[in-house]
Structure 1
Amino acid sequence: MNLYDHYRYYDLMYSLNAVKAFNNDLVKGIEVNIEENKDGKNEVIILKECDTKEATFSYKNELGKSTLHVLNKKDDFSLIHPEMTGL
């Protein structure tokens, strides 16, 4: 090994997301927390699209009316529905 070989691999960047980490056996498992709201059994929130800065969700209420919501990083889900605080 010469001096050049030492620096060839310095400051490498890796792209590792949750799915890649799980598929490469780097995590033992994934825990999912599902909160049940007895009053909102017919309400649905669907992730439509996302990128590194924001995510777009479709919210369908009990009456069947759908609305789109755009959440930025660190926004709370209570912006979609008031019962979803702290998420």
Structure 2
Amino acid sequence: MKPIWLVIIISVFITGSLSESAWADTRNKKPPIAAKNKLKIKSPQQAAQLVKRRTGGKILKVRPSGKNSYQVKVLKENGHIVSMSVDASSGRIKGR
């Protein structure tokens, strides 16, 4: 009877130490949100506001484009509809 208890106790200690080391690895990792804090443009609303200030036009549509950019469709004052790209990491606007 003693060898069975010894095996059980040893397996409990081994399992506990393995799970504890796995827990330590996850505690030291930064959450993915930390990367978002480095972005100058953090939301579609901010991208739209930036383009509106630059063009003076009416924002028709904003959508994410890739990992760190937004596509903003604008009705300009001259009646032309243009699509502009906003780089979220730098805040740069590409388009007419």
Instruction: Sort the TM-score into its range (normalised by shorter chain).
Output: 0.3 to 0.5
Larger radius of gyration: 2
Name the structure where helix makes up a greater proportion of residues. 2
Instruction: Give the TM-score taking structure 2 as reference length.
Output: 0.40
Output the TM-score relative to the length of structure 1. 0.43
